[in-house]
Each structure stands twice: as structure tokens, then as C-alpha cells.
């Protein structure tokens, strides 16, 4: 199973904490993590194996959206910061739309992400 992980700057520590808390489930199920650049670097520094793409503002969100459209991503965990402005909002909305179009589960907060991880 391929899971894409993305976290806005104010949520990166929360993403790493979430991954650490769910490390057993992720490893037991043989999950392949794909991440936008900086999120991937933080995830890698925490000891996880992750495929890193471009940073979100530089096209990483669009790369993940493309993989969703190609059927190469099974789930997206995107810890968004809803209280901050993001210059790449069109890419974020495109990713969310493509997850809906292709029926890909997407969590935008830790509570939903935990439920999705428990479900696999």
C-alpha cells in the first residue's frame, strides 16, 4: 500500500509524532510512504523510509495528485494548516479534488488519519 504524506510547516512536527505513534501498524502492513520534500526530510530524520518528491510549493502536491490520478497512491494523509495562507492553494485543491474523483481516502487531521490507519 502506498500512502502519501504531506504536512504544512506548522504541522510537520505533528506528522512526525503521528507516524511515530503508528509506527508498528505502518511497518506491520508494509506501507510505502511517499512525501513532499520537506515533510519527507523530517520523516526520514525520524527514522522512516520514505520516497521524497518536490516540496509542496515547488510542485510536490501536484506530483502526488498526479500519482493519485494514475492509481499509484492508495491513501493521502495531509495535515493542513487551515489558519495560514499557502501560495500553492490551487495544487492543494487539485489534490483534494482528485482524491474525491478517484475515491482515495484522505485525512486532513490526526483523528481522521488514525481511523484510516486502523482500517487497513
Quick one: pLDDT at residue 85? 75
* Residue 86 to residue 80: CA distance in whole angstroms: 10
Active site residue 81: no
Superfamily of the domain at 2-119 = Methylglyoxal synthase-like domain (3.40.50.1380)
Domain definitions of the chain by residue range: 2-119
- CA–CA distance, 72 with 38 (Å, rounded to integer): 21
Q: Residue 90's pLDDT is what?
A: 87
Cell of 49: 523510509
Mean pLDDT by 10 residues, the chain (120 residues): 96 97 91 97 96 94 96 97 80 95 98 96
pLDDT recorded at residue 116 = 97
pLDDT score recorded for residue 44: 97
pTM: 0.94
> CA-based angle 57:76:12, to the nearest 5?
55
b or e along 62-77 (b: 16 or more beta carbons within 10 Å of the residue's beta carbon)?
A: bbbbbbbbeeebebbb
Q: What's the pLDDT at 89?
A: 83
Give pLDDT, residue 114: 97
Out of 61, 74, 91, 100, which one is annotated catalytic? Answer: 61
Amino acid at each position: 500500500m502506498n500512502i502519501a504524506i504531506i504536512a504544512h510547516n506548522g504541522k510537520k512536527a505533528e506528522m512526525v509524532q503521528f507516524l511515530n505513534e503508528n509506527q508498528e501498524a505502518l511497518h506491520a502492513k508494509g506501507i510505502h510512504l511517499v512525501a513532499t520534500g520537506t515533510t519527507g526530510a523530517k520523516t526520514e530524520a525520524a527514522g522512516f523510509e520514505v520516497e521524497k518528491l518536490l516540496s509542496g510549493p515547488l510542485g510536490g502536491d501536484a506530483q502526488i495528485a498526479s500519482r493519485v490520478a494514475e492509481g499509484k497512491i492508495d491513501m493521502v494523509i495531509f495535515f493542513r494548516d487551515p489558519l495560514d495562507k499557502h501560495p500553492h492553494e490551487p495544487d492543494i485543491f487539485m489534490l483534494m479534488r482528485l482524491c474525491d474523483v478517484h475515491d482515495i481516502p484522505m485525512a486532513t487531521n490526526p483523528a481522521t488519519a488514525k481511523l484510516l490507519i486502523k482500517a487497513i
